[in-house]
Each structure stands twice: as C-alpha cells, then as structure tokens.
Amino acid sequence: MVPYERFEAWKVAHQLALDVYKVTDTWPTNERYGLTAQIRRAAISAPTNIAGAQRNEDHESLDDIWTYLSALSQRFRIY
C-alpha cells in the first residue's frame, strides 16, 4: 500500500490547508470561532478524506477527490 503522503492530490490539499491556516491567522480574533473555524474545517477535510480513502483502498473516491481538487484550484486562490 502506497502511503497517502505520496499522492499528489494529498500534497495539494495539505498545502492548501497550510495556506488557509497561515492566512486565517491574520484575521481578527473575533472571527476565531466563526468564519475562521469554518474555513479551517473545510480546508482540513480534503487531506483527511484523501488519507481515509487511501487507507480503505477506495480508489474511486481518490479519483473523485482529485477531480474536486482540480476544480477547486481553478476557483479558489489564496494570495
């Protein structure tokens, strides 16, 4: 079984999550439990789901996640 850390989809999703955390660290503290928490949970769900799909050898789910990440990367940019 190939470790999930080697999947390109996981690498992209993980980097996105790291970027989201970095950006949201600069947001006002009054948003910590609102918008900041919601965006962070959304960002962390992709790499978590990829790792889970790989662990279950659910290759169809991995393909779906990669398609989702490709579409997401075209629509969502962090500057």
Q: How confident is the model at residue 74 (pLDDT cuts 50, 70, 90)?
A: low
> Any idea which residue has 């989809």 for tokens?
9
Residues 14 and 48 sit within 8 Å (Cβ to Cβ):
no
Residue-wise pLDDT for 60-71, tens only, equals 666 777 776 666
**Two structure tokens written together for 74:** 């075209």
* Residue-averaged pLDDT of the chain: 80
CATH number, domain containing residue 68: 1.20.1440.60
- Helices 35-55/59-75 angle, 10° precision: 150
**What's the predicted TM-score (pTM) here?**
0.69
- Split into its structural domains, the chain has a count of 1
| pLDDT computed for residue 4 by the predictor | 82
Which residue in this structure is represented by tokens 């690498």?
11
The confidence band for 79, taking pLDDT boundaries of 50, 70 and 90, is: very low
Q: Where in the sequence is the domain holding 64, given as residue range(s)?
A: 4-75
